[in-house]
Structure 1
Amino acid sequence: MHDRSKADTARIDISLAGRLGQFALDVVFDLPASGVTALFGPSGSGKTSVLRAIAGLTRLTGRVVVGSETWQDARTFRPPHRREIGYVFQEASLFAHLTVANNLVYGARRSVGGLDEGRFAEIVGLLGLRPLLDRSPTTLSGGERQRVALGRAILSRPRLLLMDEPLAALDRMAKDEILPYFEALHDRLRIPILYISHDISEVERLADRIVVLEAGRVRASGPLNMALTDAGLGFVRDPHAASVLPARVVAFDAADALTELDLGGQRVFVDGCGPDD
């Protein structure tokens, strides 16, 4: 799928500061034009406040620049409905009086250009939503509701997709069911995604880059594989920590169920993978 969500070739620059009650926030970081950046940190570090400020829901001082467009600076403040942002919350905010299909159509019709039936069918297939289209959101599981919420956000053709711990309310089994759909979107979408999580195993599966927050400030920012091996950040002491190694699939041996990978010029064979994994 070639996503036409108007992603810019330039980066997204974020510089925000202010006080929220007794909490002081002062962050500076940037995002690439595509891929998943994890916003990671303990509870109370300011992750959700950053997302709300980027969306224009909380007004702080600073700059939000998306490609060639300035959404916020000293003279400009674009309101939330004009920021072309998709926002997926911890709890799926679906319309209970509409079917799943009509919830998705609502998102598509709010996009520039309106409903594109081909793209609608593509997103429905990618997220495995076809069997759910005629159902009410009230009959869905937590994981199914989050897939619908994600589909609706994507169909609005956002310039930037914000995801605020979308799996936090799900149990481990439900998370394991939905993560492959999120991974598929990561591989297919060409829009930047800022993804909040405090679960490092979740971040390892989904993210390309990471921004680590601590007490309202950026402690580290960069490629995920570099952050995971930085002893100063403490990930290496996490019992769930792992290394992320970029590799290219070279071949798949169906007889022995082995996938051959090119890892920096070295050949590595891993089991349990299929040609589409």
Structure 2
Amino acid sequence: MTLSVDIARDLGGFRLETQFDAPDGVTVLFGRSGSGKSSVVKSVAGLLTPDRGRVRLGDRTLFDTRTRTNVPVHKRRLGYVFQDSRLFPHLNVRDNLCYTARVTGRGSRRPEDVGDLLGISHLLDRKTHALSGGEAQRVAIGRALLSQPDMLLMDEPLASLDGPRKAEILPYLETLRRETGLSILYVTHNMAEVARLATHIVLLENGCVVRSGAPSELLTDPDMVRVLGVRDAGAVLSAKVVAQPEDGISELLVSAGRLFLPAIDAPVGAELRVRILAQDVMLSATRPAGLSALNILPVQVLALRRGDGPGVIVQLQAGQDRLLARVTRRSADAMGLAPGTACYAVMKSVAVSPTDIAVGLQSGL
């Protein structure tokens, strides 16, 4: 279900003026803190009223200043998941799950229906104070789902969790989209979450949309590094598991050849997303030999972006995919890198973190 947003509001010295369409799938609002991401989601939910504009979800108008339409929050049929779980401490998990559906009068599903999906079936009779941060957030997601929303709004749902808890919950978010087909508007400033979940990205800066589009286009555009951040610059490749040898190295097929990564918990034939950071890609003018690095792909230089410092971001064509490499200006000059240059991208297997691999989410790439 497509969400269309065209809104403006003055927020105490900050001007929010945002226009974008969020197609079916997971649309990620990405930007630095203070860029206006949460204000956009609150406007969609009805928790913040724009000065002017319109919000439409499918064929329903949720807000329109011209027609003076402003659908109340509880009638917008949106599920909202906040940064913290906001569970009711006097209710157990089962009653927390049922609360929103009971208040809105929507939803005929039982708590058990989301139990297996989110791995919380064994928690239904537990008090909320006995939940871990990751468990509490999964209950909050389940509560939103049981209200049978037309769309799920997730405002930095992992921001309050530590690394291990984030790693615990990300696979459930992937399963949620894959199993329910529910469209999601997802807010984050964490690039790993963008790379794993997004089928569409909206980049925000100072309250305005800088650009929007598919991850394969935006994440590998050298001109977007300024917005995305140099350390987070990288590409997301579509891959398929083709072998699981006994030595603990999974063999993947990508459009440019083979990738070898530390054991991935996925069967042969599984489709994956693999995020490769620009800082983990080395370039060689000739195919190297005698290296410990297992991953060597033939590539061609598409573009270079030279910053004010010693670094250069190099955009590469790798089969049907695109990569980014971050090299020094000295290396780029010594290799004579320019658009059209053929070379090889070299990546260590251990450089790819398990948190940068998503199973079963390729649409939008």
Alignment map for 1:1-277 (pairs within 5 Å): 8=1, 11-33=2-24, 35-60=25-50, 61-73=52-64, 74-75=66-67, 76-109=69-102, 114-117=107-110, 120-234=111-225, 238-247=230-239, 249=240, 251=242, 253=244, 263-264=254-255, 268=258, 270-271=260-261, 272-273=263-264, 274-275=266-267, 277=359
Residue type at the aligned position of 1:56? G
CA contact (8 A) 2:107 2:146 kept: no
Q: Tell me how far apart the structure 1 counterparts of residues 94 and 200 of structure 2 sit (CA, whole Å).
A: 33
| SS of corresponding position for 1:238 | coil
Deviation per CA, 1:181-238, whole angstroms, max 9, x where unpaired?
1121132221211111111112111212111111110011111121111111116753
Indicate the residue corresponding to 1:3 in structure 2.
none
Change (3 A) 1:237 1:42: closer
- More RCO (CA 8 Å, sep 6+): 1
Percent of aligned pairs sharing the same letter? 45
Deviation at 1:47, TM superposition (A): 0.8
Q: Tell me how far apart the structure 1 counterparts of residues 245 and 63 of structure 2 sit (CA, whole Å).
A: 53
Greater mean deviation of Cα atoms: 184-193 or 15-24 = 184-193
Indicate the residue corresponding to 1:4 in structure 2.
none
CA contact (8 A) 1:204 1:242 kept: no
CA contact (8 A) 1:261 1:269 kept: yes
Q: Matched residue pairs, number?
A: 263
More strand by share: 2
Q: Tell me how far apart the structure 2 counterparts of residues 64 and 52 of structure 1 sit (CA, whole Å).
A: 12
CA contact (8 A) 1:161 1:193 kept: yes
Residue type at the aligned position of 1:183? E
| SS of corresponding position for 1:243 | strand
Deviation per CA, 1:138-194, whole angstroms, max 9, x where unpaired?
111111111100111111111111111111111112111111111211322212111
Structure 1, unaligned runs of 5 or more: 1-7
Q: Tell me how far apart the structure 2 counterparts of residues 161 and 256 of structure 1 sit (CA, whole Å).
A: 41
Deviation at 1:36, TM superposition (A): 1.1
Structure 2, unaligned runs of 5 or more: 271-358, 360-365
Greater mean deviation of Cα atoms: 253-262 or 168-177 = 253-262
| SS of corresponding position for 1:219 | strand
Q: Tell me how far apart the structure 2 counterparts of residues 115 and 189 of structure 1 sit (CA, whole Å).
A: 15
TM-score (norm 2): 0.67
